[in-house]
Structure 1
Amino acid sequence: MASRGKATILDIARKAGVSKSTVSLVLQGSTLIRPGTASRVRKAIEEVGYVYNRGAANLRKAHSNVVGMVINDLTNPFFAELAVGMERVFQSAGIVPFIANTAENPVRQGEVLKSLLEQGVSGLIVSPAHGTLPDAFERIRSGGTPIIFVMRRLAESRVPVVAPDNPWGAFLATSHLIGKGHRRIAFLGGFPDMVVYHERVGGYREALAAHGIAAAEALIIQGDTNRKGGMSAIETALAFNPAPTAAMCFNDAVAFGAMTGLRKRGMEPGGDFAIVGFDDVAEAQHYMPPLTSVAVDTAGLGERAAHMMLNMIRAGTTRAGNHIGAISLIVRDSCGPDVTETRRSA
C-alpha cells in the first residue's frame, strides 16, 4: 500500500475509532462490516488523505476472509464434530476456515498461531493445548485480532469462552453412579493446570458431598485426555484395595480407553465396573456396551462460537460475553449397579 502524507491504516483506525482489522475489511469491500461503521471508516480515509493501493492488496486478498480454527486434538471425535459446526456457519458467511491440529503441543500451537497471524487472519477460534500460557493470547488480543476459546479456558484470561456447563455435567454423572449404589467412584483423566479439569472434578466432588460420601483423593487420577490416558488411569484405579467400582471420566475418549483397559483385565464394562463419559460423541451410542455420557450440543457450541466470531469481526472488537451451553445425561448400558456386595454375600 502507498499513502499520501504518510497516512496509515492505524491513522484511519484512530480517526474512526475502530480496529486496524476493521479498516482493512472496509478497504477490501468486505460485507462483514456494518454499513454505519463502513461509512465512518470511509469518511476517516478521506480526512487523513489515505490512498489505497488495490493492486498490492489483491496479493493478500486470499487471506482477508480467513478464520483460524486451532484445535488441541482432532483425533478426539468431539473436536471434529465441533469443527464441523463452526465450518458450516463460516462457509455460509463466505469465510474460509483454516483448521489446524496442535496435538496438545504448546510449541506447535505457537507455530500455527504465528503462521496464521502472518497471513492476516480475521480471527482465531482456539481450544488451547495442555500447558498453554495465557500471555501469548493476551498479546494477540491486545493487537486487535479477535480470539474465542472453545471448550477450554485459561486461568485469568479475558478471552471469551464457549463451553458446556462442566460442573453441572460432572455432578449429574456422579450422582447417577451414586444412585446405582456405587460409593467408591474414581475420577479419571485431565490435569490440575486445566481449568476444565477443576470444573469437572469440582462437580464430581460436589455430588459426593451432597450424598454424604467422603472423596478419596487417591481416586482422582490424573492423566492424558485420550484413550491411552484412560487405559493407564483405569490400571491405576484397579490397583487400589479396595478398588473403586465405578468411574466418572474426564471425557468420552478417556472412557473408551478405560473400557478397553477393563476388558484387558477380563472385566466387563457396565457389568463388573460402571463407566460414565463426558461429551456424548457419536461413537458413544454405538460402542459396546453403549456409553453413558454427559451430552453436549457439540455442533451447537461450534455454531455459537462461529457466530460470536462473525459478530466480533463485524464490530471490530475483541470483546464478547462467554457462552455456557446446557448439558444432559444420556443413560446407556455402561453404568450398571455396584455388584461387589452381591458377590461378597454369595
Structure 2
Amino acid sequence: MAGGRVTVIDIAKAAGVSKSTVSLVLQGSPLVNEGTRVKVSAAMRELGYVYNRGAATLRQTGAKSKIIGVVVNDLTNSFFAELAVGVDMVVQSAGFVQFLSNTSESIDRQREVIASMREHGISGLIVSPARATEAADFKPLVAAGIPVVVAVRSLPGAKVSSIVSDNHEGTAAAVRHLASLGHRRISFLGGFPNTAVFAERLTGYRDAVVEVGLGFDDELIVSSAPSRAGGADAIARTMAMGNPPTAAVCFNDAVAFGVCDGLRARGMEPGRDFAVVGFDDVIEAQTAVPALTTISVDPQGMGRRAAQLLLKQINAGKVEAENVTAAVRLVVRESCGAAQRKSREELA
C-alpha cells in the first residue's frame, strides 16, 4: 500500500483472489459467485478501500473530474446556505459543479457522504466538520491527494487548508459594545462546548468582560444547540437565574433569533427590555424585527474564499495547507437597544 493508498492488488492479496476478480466485484458483474463477492467486500472494508467510480469513468474517457464536494454540519442554519452560494459563485465560473450534503452534526453521516463523494471522483472537498470530527478523519483524503478546505470550524492538527472567522475578536467586540451601553451582567448564550469555534468565541467573551471591568461569572455561560430552538431554550434557563443578565452575546444569529423568540414569550421586547447581539450577519439579520445587531462574517464571502483556496490547490496539482482567518466587524442595529439609548440621551 505505497503512499498509504489501498489498491486493487492489495484487495486481491487480502481476499486471496485475482486482481481481475476484484475488478469484476467492483463492477457488480454477475460472473462472480456470492461467496467470493462477500470475501472481497470484507477485505475492502477492512483495508478502508474506496472505489472511485468517477475516476474509473474518467480513466476510460481521458477526461478530468469537475466535481467539488461541499459538506456542511447544519443546512437548516441559513449561514451555511449562504456559504454554499458563495462557493457556487466561484466553482461554477471555473467550470466545476458542487455536490452539497448536510450531516446534521452526525460524524457517521459525514463519513458516509464523503465516501460517496469520493466514489464519484470529486476533485476537492470543502467541509464544515460535524461535532467530534478529528484530524485523523481527513488523513485518507490527504493520503489520496484530494485537496480539502475546512471552513467555519477549525480542526487543529489536520494537514488541510482552512478558513475561519476571527471568533475571538468578534465576541470581544460584542461585549465591549454592550458594556458601553451600560450593561453590567452580559451572558454568553448557545453553542456546543466541544467545538473549537465555541472555545474561540467563549475566550473572546471571557477576555472582554475582564477587560471592561465586569469580571467573569461562569453562571452567565449557557450552552445549547446552535439553533433557533437552542436559543429559546438558553434564554429560558438564563431568565430563571436569581440575578439574570440584561444582555446576551449569542453564539450565532440562529441562537440570537431564538433568544428573541424566548424573550417575547415572556412578554419582553428584544432591544428594549433585553439587549441581544448575534454572530454571522445572515441575510435575515437586517430584515428581522427588531433588526439584529450582530458580528458580520460575510458567509457568502467566506464561501467564495474557501472555493478559491480549493481551486488554487486543484490547479497546482498538489495539496498545500493554507490557513486564513477572516476579519469580522460589529454591525449595530436595533436588537441591542443602542438606538433607544441614543434617543433617551437626546431627550435628556
**2:58–2:64: 8 Å Cα contact kept in structure 1?**
no
My pick for the range that moved more, 123-132 or 60-69, is 60-69
SS for the counterpart of 1:121 is coil
C-alpha offsets along residues 66-125 of structure 1, whole Å, 9 cap, x if unaligned?
110001111111111111111011111111111111111111111101101111111100
| Unaligned segments of structure 2, at least 5 residues | 1-6, 8-54, 342-348
Change (3 A) 1:62 1:246: farther
Show the counterpart of 2:273: 272
C-alpha offsets along residues 312-344 of structure 1, whole Å, 9 cap, x if unaligned?
0111222232111111111011012799xxxxx
Show the counterpart of 2:81: 80
Cα distance between partner residues in 2 of 1:192 and 1:329: 23
SS for the counterpart of 1:277 is strand
The answer to whether the aligner puts 1:332 opposite 2:333 as a matched pair is yes
Cα distance between partner residues in 1 of 2:57 and 2:130: 36
**1:160–1:320: 8 Å Cα contact kept in structure 2?**
yes
Q: CA deviation at 1:60?
A: 7.3
Q: How does 1:149-188 map to 2 (within 5 A)?
A: 149-188=150-189
**1:270–1:336: 8 Å Cα contact kept in structure 2?**
yes
TM-score (ref. length: structure 2): 0.79
Cα distance between partner residues in 2 of 1:62 and 1:272: 62
C-alpha offsets along residues 15-61 of structure 1, whole Å, 9 cap, x if unaligned?
xxxxxxxxxxxxxxxxxxxxxxxxxxxxxxxxxxxxxxx99536678
Cα distance between partner residues in 2 of 1:99 and 1:257: 26
Show the counterpart of 1:282: 283
Cα distance between partner residues in 1 of 2:57 and 2:249: 56
Cα distance between partner residues in 2 of 1:255 and 1:300: 22
Change (3 A) 1:56 1:165: closer
**2:58–2:65: 8 Å Cα contact kept in structure 1?**
no
Which runs of structure 1 show a deviation greater than 4 angstroms over 4 or more consecutive aligned residues?
A: 58-63
My pick for the range that moved more, 84-93 or 313-322, is 313-322
Show the counterpart of 2:298: 297
Q: 2:229 is matched by which residue type in structure 1? A: K
SS for the counterpart of 2:296 is strand
**2:159–2:321: 8 Å Cα contact kept in structure 1?**
no
Show the counterpart of 1:64: 65
Q: How does 1:196-215 map to 2 (within 5 A)?
A: 196-215=197-216
The answer to whether the aligner puts 1:263 opposite 2:264 as a matched pair is yes
Cα distance between partner residues in 1 of 2:191 and 2:152: 13
Cα distance between partner residues in 1 of 2:195 and 2:59: 42
**1:247–1:276: 8 Å Cα contact kept in structure 2?**
yes
Q: Give % identity.
A: 49
**1:308–1:320: 8 Å Cα contact kept in structure 2?**
no
**1:63–1:121: 8 Å Cα contact kept in structure 2?**
no
Coordinate RMSD, CA, aligned:
2.4
Q: How many residues align?
A: 290
| Unaligned segments of structure 1, at least 5 residues | 1-7, 9-53, 340-346
Q: CA deviation at 1:297?
A: 2.1
**1:274–1:334: 8 Å Cα contact kept in structure 2?**
yes
Q: 1:280 is matched by which residue type in structure 2? A: D
SS for the counterpart of 2:329 is strand
Show the counterpart of 2:101: 100
Q: CA deviation at 1:142?
A: 2.3
